[in-house]
Amino acid sequence: MASKLFLKRFFKSKTPIPCLYPCAPLLPSSSFLLESSIVPPLSLLEPLFSPSLISRPFFSSRPSHAEEVPGPAAVDHRSTLTEEEFHQMADETIHNLQEKLEEYGDSLQLDGFDVDYGNQVLTLKLGDLGTYVVNKQTPNRQIWLSSPVSGPSRFDWDASISAWVYRRTKSNLTKLLEEELQELCGEPIDLS
């Protein structure tokens, strides 16, 4: 009933009343309606001004139960290794990989095989077989690997086994590289 009264006043008023609903582009302005003397039947407009649309909130809110569900605990990587320890371990690992990969490349007869280390990034090119990239991520205390076989991985130092381990799959950095390079190149490699 209130919506009918509102609509009658709306179409008799000479002052345009803005419509803040999604229907606004579909309705002609009130000044147009008054000038042209075209007034649509109330039965057509009434659903547009129903209480469910008028009182509907135009924002989303989180359900109250979402506050009760705890998210994963944040990992403070600074507590596992100091920055100095991280650099020492990561540099040693990357330089060891570089030496072993260069030896491996000398024993292979693979077109496009190239090992490059610059700007703290180790790049291994295998010609048409793809490219590996290994680099340090100091803020996270991680070594990141981009592999043409397994994709991106982030390795954390695991002191209990003295190795860089990808938490998601529990794979060891050197073991993963050994398996993938043997699969791609057909020759075994020992990176430990």
Q: Which domains does the chain have, with CATH numbers?
A: 2-67 (no CATH), 80-185 (3.30.920.10)
Neighbours of 158 (CB within 10 A): 14
Helix, strand and coil content of the chain, in percent to the nearest 5, comes to 45, 20, 35
Mean pLDDT of the residues in the chain: 76
153 exposure class (CB count in 10 Å sphere: 0-12, 13-18, 19+): buried
Residues in the chain, how many?
A: 192
Segment 119-136, tens digit of pLDDT: 999 999 999 999 999 999
List Cα–Cα distances, 152 to 47, 135, 179, in angstroms.
53, 11, 16
The pTM of the full predicted model, rounded to 2 decimals, is 0.60
Q: What is the Cα–Cα distance from 169 to 178, expressed in whole angstroms?
A: 16
Summarize the confidence of residues 159-168 as an average pLDDT.
Answer: 93
Segment 49-87, tens digit of pLDDT: 555 555 444 444 444 444 554 544 455 554 578 999 999
The residue written with tokens 């990587």 in the block is: 77
Summarize the confidence of residues 17-30 as an average pLDDT.
Answer: 48
Instruction: Show the 3-state SS of 11-24.
Output: HHCCCCCCCCCCCH
Q: Strand 171-172's sheet: what is its strand order?
A: 113-118, 121-126, 131-137, 142-147, 151-158, 163-166, 171-172
